[in-house]
Amino acid sequence: MMGEPVLVMLVEDNVDHAELVIRTLEDHHIANRIQHFSDGQAALDYLLRREQYTDPETSPRPHVILLDLRLPRVDGLEVLQAIKDNEELKSIPVVVLTTSEAERDVTRAYHNHVNSYLVKPVGFEEFSKLMNDLGFYWLGWNTHPRI
């Protein structure tokens, strides 16, 4: 990805959480662009290039997807399943970023081939460090195929 603009897709319905993620990624210069969606249906429309997202030039594939579980319209686990069941999308790393520590949610996410499952820390400093480490791992150190 050297020299290539980095696109992070954030699927988060909580405005405060979304703002914190966006601000942290921007402060650490982790992404050139962050595409934010507040519901699962809109995220799937973008990824599957439906509705207003049909043009690949204006709707490029993200390099990593940060996905909350509890979303309106289409649940995060359904979004994850749709991504991992799609030949064109399944190689995009998906990181669940949620407040849920429930074993059932963790198990279902990994059953649907999530790449990582992270529980949002409560404190700002811990959250900022998590986002920094996450960004450097998935967008800097990790090697993955071109999308």
> What's residue 76's pLDDT?
96
Give the number of other CB atoms < 10 A from CB of residue 34.
Answer: 19
Distance between CA atoms of residues 36 and 65, nearest Å: 10
Shortest CA distance to 28 belongs to which of 115, 138, 143, 122? 138
> What's residue 1's pLDDT?
44
List pLDDT tens digits, range 98-119: 999 999 999 999 999 999 999 9
Range with the lowest mean pLDDT among 68-72, 94-98, 124-128? 124-128
Give the number of other CB atoms < 10 A from CB of residue 23.
Answer: 14
Statement: the pTM of the whole predicted model exceeds 0.75? yes
Distance between CA atoms of residues 30 and 24, nearest Å: 9
67-91 mean pLDDT: 96
Confidence class of residue 147 from pLDDT cuts 50, 70 and 90? low
> Is residue 3 scored above 60 in pLDDT?
no
7-141 is classed in which CATH architecture?
3-Layer(aba) Sandwich (3.40)
Q: Are 115 and 95 contacting, i.e. CB atoms less than 8 angstroms apart?
A: yes
Which run of H or E residues covers position 7? strand 7-11
Q: Where are the domains of the chain?
A: 7-141
List pLDDT tens digits, range 31-67: 788 999 999 999 999 999 999 999 999 999 998 999 9
Distance between CA atoms of residues 54 and 139, nearest Å: 25
> What's residue 26's pLDDT?
84
- Percent residues over pLDDT 90 in the chain: 63
What helix, strand, coil percent values describe the chain, rounded to 5? 40, 15, 45
**Does residue 3 or residue 78 have the better pLDDT?**
78
Q: Which tokens in the block code for residue 24?
A: 């942290």
